[in-house]
Amino acid sequence: MYLLWKVAAAGFAVDQITKAIAAVVVEGHEPRHLLGGAVTFTAFRNSGAAGSFAPRATLVFTILAVVVLVLIARVARSIRSTGWAVGLGLIFAGAGGNLADRIFRTPGFGRGAVLDFIQIGESGIFNLADQCVTAGAAVVLIQTFRGVPMRPVVTSGVAGRALER
């Protein structure tokens, strides 16, 4: 389903563009507070996972992101559900966006730190790739709880062909 790839490409592009802007406008500057301090733009290089979990495991998170991307790419052709395509596309965008940071940002290949720059209230600092993963996981959970299959149920006969549509 091409929708998955469209969502993934759009999410990845927005993430990388906003990180490029944040690297110039936010990083190295004083935090910028908006909406009475409800939203803060401040740069933080995160070598770990969300919330700076396991900062010395950058290589592990790099490998994990590659595995996630490969698994999603393997099932992508058989997805027939719009919800699953959107959810997995968002996860692909987020994992790909943060993987790009880990590959291309300092201190080096596979060990780079992800650029986080958005803080809501007293929450942790995050980026749009993180939000893509979170939203994608929520959509996947909703699809799962609703019982929506990722792939069409294989049946035979006229009724089966009608169900596949």
Active site members:
116, 130
* Tokens representing residue 140 in the block: 């996947």
Cβ-in-10-Å burial (0-12, 13-18, 19+) of 141 comes to: exposed
* Tokens representing residue 145 in the block: 């709880």
Q: Which amino acid is at 58?
A: T
In DSSP terms, 49 is beta-bridged to: 53
3-state secondary structure of 34: strand
C-alpha count within 13 angstroms, C-beta hemisphere, residue 19: 27
Q: Are 94 and 7 in contact (CB under 8 A)?
A: no
